[in-house]
Chain A
Amino acid sequence: MDSGKVKFFLAEVLRNFSRNTGMQVTAIGTVAITIVLLGLFLFVRAAIADAGRQLLDEISVSAYLRTDVTPLQVRAIAHFLAQDPRVASVQYVPKKQGLAELRERTKGTIDVALLTENPLPDKFRIKARVADDVPAIAASVRRLSGVDNVVYGQKIVQRLLQLGAVLRRISIAVIVVFVAVAGIIIANTIRLTVFARRREIAIMQLVGATNTYIRLPFICEGLLDGLIGALVATVLLAIARAALWPRLLEALPWAQLTVVPVDGRLLTLELFAVGAAIGVLASWVSVGRHLRT
């Protein structure tokens, strides 16, 4: 590689970048704001998704057995469930243990000791590997002989699954809008720099520079805008998280229980990728339009 050529190219990019400081700051600021919003959004989405997953994880299927169930039937049911690949764990809860758990759960509110006999049937407590499979598992268990009734909080599971689907759709729409807005603003910024450099571009075209060559510095400029914007946004997000997270946990104690920490490294990587993509695409379109006229 010709080091002189590289030096010339880098000098051109830096010169252009530093020449229109005001414009660059605007572009970088816009990208940063967009990415902060996007980051908050992704963060909240991931937190909600994790919370939902955790809630779903809590949900177990309770298969209550008939009072006249035979030990053979119990063993058959246990065997059937152990074979099912969708099932994560199966626990047999005899009625004695069920009553003990009930007593524990209702401590201080109801005195279970008032009961003269145990009204609870024996049951299986089944956990699914994936929350989406819960309804299907429940349906298959209900068909087995010896099973009286199956309960799994149908409404909650269905609501959560629906919420997840809606959330995914909304989040895609919101991300598209954010990225489009940032892209338009970068494109406009690059268009201004293209306009400021139109003499230079005309001369480059005149002496036979290829469009790719003319385009490259602007693409680098857009990339730089996007990456610096992403960097600023990431720093702001990190600061916000460090400053606000403890206070949030203080204000909302339940958040501590339900919200799992989001993977910050992956999020950062995503934000940088988004910033770079916005910058490159926007400047490509913007310069391309100029070169064709």
Chain B
Amino acid sequence: MISLRGVSLVYPNGVRALDNITLEIAKGDFVFLVGDSGTGKSSLLRLLYREAASTTGEIIVDGIRVDRLRRSRVPALRRHLGVVFQDFKLLVDKTVWENVAFAMQVTGAHTRDVMRQVPRVLDLVGLSHKSRMYPGELSGGEQQRAAIARALVNNPKILLCDEPTGNLDPANTTEITALLLRINLKGTTVVVATHNQAVVDRMRRRVVRLEDGRIAADEERGYYYLGLRESQVLSG
């Protein structure tokens, strides 16, 4: 489903964000990307939804050669992906329903499909009863659930999450994590970049640890401090 071969990313200012990354993520996988801030987790996700363009290497997402994608084809790629962020990125002057429907409407979806699909995803994230509320009237966890509903509304095969629980308290974190797992069980490939140790250790899913833009460890049923020596853990 996602395949990176020898991918490097050097930003125009000379910073080497990713260095020779090779990574395979199968259909239906649930993968944690862990590592300290600035180790390239977000950069890796940004490559996948083509917010950044790789300097070298080959990237395939759902059969699309992302590294060779023309600018005009980027919207088509993004319709295969759902993306969730730490800061939710909801439109404050639109209701929950409108925020979710917006993501379909701007892709030119038929109103009939919007009316059918929006209630479905709102139900999935458990926000049906708050669909008429504005983001400012919701808790952080609810806002993130609305953002996840928006990411899912176009039926993506892949859900990318960049620190989805970064702004949430432990209770909401648990709730969001459970929701992501439920989405994964429905067959969506989920990639979560996080530095929340508790979440990673509780789930025991595949963990890919990035360090200085390289893959330092990659293990099925991993844990947060995977691949680190005890001294590194204590000093970190």
Tell whether B75 is near chain A: CB-to-CB under 8 Å. Answer: yes
Give Cα A159 to B111, complex, Å. 67
Tell whether A8 is near chain B: CB-to-CB under 8 Å. Answer: yes
The stretch of A22-30, A98-106, A114-122, A203-211 that contacts the partner chain: A203-211
Residue of B nearest to A3 (CB): B111
Asked if B111 and A5 sit within 8 Å, CB to CB, the answer is yes
Asked if A208 and B76 sit within 8 Å, CB to CB, the answer is yes
Residue of B nearest to A202 (CB): B89
Residues 202-226 of chain A, each 1 if its beta carbon lies under 8 Å from chain B, else 0:
1111111111011000000000000
Give Cα A208 to B154, complex, Å. 10
Asked if A209 and B106 sit within 8 Å, CB to CB, the answer is yes
Asked if A203 and B91 sit within 8 Å, CB to CB, the answer is yes
Tell whether B79 is near chain A: CB-to-CB under 8 Å. Answer: yes
Give Cα A204 to B74, complex, Å. 12
Which of A4, A206, A211 is most buried by chain B, counting CB atoms within 10 A of its CB?
A206
Asked if A5 and B110 sit within 8 Å, CB to CB, the answer is yes
Residue of A nearest to B82 (CB): A207
Asked if A207 and B78 sit within 8 Å, CB to CB, the answer is yes
Q: Name the distance in Å between A121's Cβ and chain B's nearest Cβ.
A: 80
A residues near B76, Cβ cutoff 8 Å? 208
Asked if B111 and A2 sit within 8 Å, CB to CB, the answer is yes
Known interface pairs A2-B110, A4-B111, A8-B105; A207-B154 also in contact (CB < 8 Å): yes
Asked if B83 and A206 sit within 8 Å, CB to CB, the answer is yes
> A213 contacts which of B72, B103, B108 (Cβ < 8 Å)?
B108
A residues near B78, Cβ cutoff 8 Å? 205-208
Residue of B nearest to A200 (CB): B91
Give Cα A108 to B110, complex, Å. 87
Known interface pairs A5-B105, A213-B106; A208-B111 also in contact (CB < 8 Å): no
Asked if B102 and A203 sit within 8 Å, CB to CB, the answer is yes
Residue of A nearest to B114 (CB): A4
Residues 221-257 of chain A, each 1 if its beta carbon lies under 8 Å from chain B, else 0:
0000000000000000000000000000000000000
Tell whether A169 is near chain B: CB-to-CB under 8 Å. Answer: no
Tell whether B49 is near chain A: CB-to-CB under 8 Å. Answer: yes
A1-35, CB < 8 A from B: 2-5, 8
Q: Name the distance in Å between B134's Cβ and chain A's nearest Cβ.
A: 15
Tell whether B209 is near chain A: CB-to-CB under 8 Å. Answer: no
Residue of A nearest to B108 (CB): A213
Main secondary structure of the interface of A (DSSP, over half): helix
Tell whether B60 is near chain A: CB-to-CB under 8 Å. Answer: no
Asked if B79 and A208 sit within 8 Å, CB to CB, the answer is yes
Tell whether A199 is near chain B: CB-to-CB under 8 Å. Answer: yes
A residues near B154, Cβ cutoff 8 Å? 207-208
Give Cα A199 to B89, complex, Å. 8
Known interface pairs A4-B114, A203-B102; A209-B91 also in contact (CB < 8 Å): no
Residues 57-101 of chain B, each 1 if its beta carbon lies under 8 Å from chain A, else 0:
000000000000000101111110001000001010000000000
Tell whether B107 is near chain A: CB-to-CB under 8 Å. Answer: yes
A residues near B49, Cβ cutoff 8 Å? 206
> A199 contacts which of B74, B75, B77, B91 (Cβ < 8 Å)?
B91
Tell whether B150 is near chain A: CB-to-CB under 8 Å. Answer: yes
Residue of A nearest to B83 (CB): A206
Give Cα A202 to B91, complex, Å. 11
A residues near B114, Cβ cutoff 8 Å? 4
Give Cα A203 to B154, complex, Å. 14
Give Cα A211 to B108, complex, Å. 12
Asked if A208 and B77 sit within 8 Å, CB to CB, the answer is yes
B residues near A208, Cβ cutoff 8 Å? 74-79, 107, 154
Known pairs A2-B112, A209-B106 / 18 extra A-B pairs, C-beta < 8 Å: A5-B108, A8-B111, A199-B91, A200-B91, A202-B89, A203-B89, A206-B49, A206-B78, A206-B83, A207-B79, A207-B106, A207-B154, A208-B74, A208-B77, A208-B78, A209-B107, A211-B75, A213-B108
24 residue pairs of the A-B complex, CB under 8 angstroms, read A2-B110, A2-B111, A2-B112, A4-B110, A4-B111, A4-B112, A200-B91, A202-B89, A205-B78, A206-B49, A206-B78, A206-B83, A206-B89, A207-B78, A207-B106, A207-B150, A208-B75, A208-B79, A208-B107, A208-B154, A209-B106, A209-B107, A211-B75, A213-B108
Give residues in B with beta carbon < 8 Å to A: 49, 72, 74-79, 83, 89, 91, 102-103, 105-108, 110-112, 114, 150, 154
- The 4 A-B pairs at the shortest CB distance, nearest first, are namely A4-B111, A208-B78, A209-B106, A208-B79
